[in-house]
Amino acid sequence: MQILKLGGRTLPFMKLRKFAMTLSTLLILASFVSFFTKGLNFGLDFTGGTAVEVGFTQAPDLKEVRDAITESGFEDFSVQLFGSSKEILVRLAPQGAGVKAEVIGNQIITALQKVESTVEMRRIEFVGPSVGEDLKEQGGLAMLTALICILIYVAFRFEWRFAVGAVSALLHDVIITLGLFSVLGLEFDLTILAAILAVIGYSLNDTIVVSDRIRENFRKVRIDDTIEIIDISLTQTLNRTLVTSITTILVLIALFGWGGQTIHGFATALLFGVFIGTYSSVYVASAVAIAMGVSKEDLIPEVIEKEGADLDPMP
């Protein structure tokens, strides 16, 4: 069998596996610390409440905007720039049963007319708190179900140690991506949840390609060293991994830079997820399989002797 090598040699990926696993462990721990201290900045989809997008002719002073809204009797709200310095998004907590979104929007516009008389309402959205809780629960169940189905599929398709490695890599990607949103305080809404699920699919695809090549080389390459076979497999799939990742990243950079504020968080999650997913496909999934003792014998199919094969042939 002819082995494709980068620059005429096999790259020693697994030589850095201990360093990579240490780095991953530190990032996961940092993510959990941020979850418990800062939490996630859940968007309107999950928390419920009212969002009002407002446009100004001149860039407003956000402190004046907050003071004007506070003077109107609102307490639990946030104000942030949205898209440009002339547009702001006001998010308010649920104001009680029976309060219509249109009424809240008119009150916000009246309050902001003290800052600028020509202020314009661009859009208004309302989500009930019970709906937000349901979406949060269903979103978590969606990710959990996806991970369980992946574990079962990879266990049947390859070998259970590779299944554990693949799911470990996916959990690694999800936790660290969520940790990024927690540390930076970025809003987490349904579009970000969709991006997380897309990251799971992207990372899984890369992991499956690598695992398939490792299984093939375990059966064909006459080497007993598990680590060397995995290095050979990762080197063989490196070109494919780089081409896929780079082309995807170029599209996401375009979305991140020019896609507008509405999909900015979606592009951020996917852009970071592609980086971390490529890294985990190379190091986390394979390193976990090695740590669990995967060997050549685990992936070589058993030879089943036919009945009567051991009998002496007829004279």
Query: In CATH, what number is assigned to the domain containing residue 118?
Result: 3.30.70.3400
Both 19 and 83 in a single domain?
Answer: no
pLDDT in tens, the chain (315 residues): 344 444 457 788 888 888 999 999 999 999 999 999 988 888 777 777 788 888 888 888 888 888 888 888 887 777 877 777 788 888 887 766 666 777 788 888 888 888 887 888 888 877 666 666 676 677 778 778 877 887 787 777 767 787 888 888 888 999 999 999 999 888 888 788 888 888 888 888 888 888 888 888 887 877 778 888 888 888 888 888 888 888 888 988 888 888 766 678 888 999 998 889 889 888 888 888 888 877 666 565 554 455 554 555 554
**Pairing state between β 187-188 and 84-92:** unpaired
Question: Within a domain: residue 253?
Answer: yes
Q: Which of 127, 147, 172 is the last residue of a domain?
A: 127
Both 31 and 152 in a single domain?
Answer: yes
Both 167 and 205 in a single domain?
Answer: yes
Both 95 and 155 in a single domain?
Answer: no
Helix (H, G, I), strand (E, B) or coil at 88: strand
How many structural domains compose the chain?
A: 2
Helix (H, G, I), strand (E, B) or coil at 57: coil
pTM higher than 0.85: no
Both 71 and 170 in a single domain?
Answer: no
**Pairing state between β 120-127 and 187-188:** unpaired
| Sequence-distant (≥ 6) Cβ neighbours of residue 195 within 8 angstroms | 265, 266, 269, 270, 273
Question: Within a domain: residue 304?
Answer: no
Both 136 and 123 in a single domain?
Answer: no
Question: Within a domain: residue 236?
Answer: yes
Per the CB < 8 A criterion, the answer to whether 22 and 50 are in contact is no
Per the CB < 8 A criterion, the answer to whether 233 and 219 are in contact is no
Q: Which of 81, 104, 127 is the last residue of a domain?
A: 127
Both 56 and 168 in a single domain?
Answer: no
Q: Which of 127, 146, 175 is the last residue of a domain?
A: 127
pLDDT at residue 7 in the model: 47
Nearest Cα neighbor of 53 from 123, 113, 104 is 123
Residue 207: give the domain boundaries.
13-40+132-299
Residue 280: what are its φ and ψ, rounded to 5°?
Answer: -70, -30
Question: Within a domain: residue 166?
Answer: yes
CATH of the domain at 31: 1.20.1640.10
Both 120 and 172 in a single domain?
Answer: no
Per the CB < 8 A criterion, the answer to whether 112 and 52 are in contact is no
**Pairing state between β 77-82 and 41-42:** unpaired
How far is 141 from 203, CA to CA, in rounded Å? 19
Question: How far does Cα 254 stand from its chain's mean position?
Answer: 18
pLDDT at residue 132 in the model: 60
The structure tokens 């094969």 sit at 309
Q: In 158-263, where does DSSP find H-type helix?
A: 160-184, 190-220, 226-258
Question: Within a domain: residue 1?
Answer: no
How far is 274 from 269, CA to CA, in rounded Å? 9
Scored b (16 or more CB within 10 A) or e, 20-40 reads: bbeebeebeeebeebeeeeeb
Helix (H) or strand (E) run with residue 189 in it: none
Both 99 and 136 in a single domain?
Answer: no
Both 31 and 93 in a single domain?
Answer: no
Both 117 and 243 in a single domain?
Answer: no
Both 226 and 163 in a single domain?
Answer: yes
pLDDT at residue 238 in the model: 85
Residue 85: what are its φ and ψ, rounded to 5°?
Answer: -75, -10
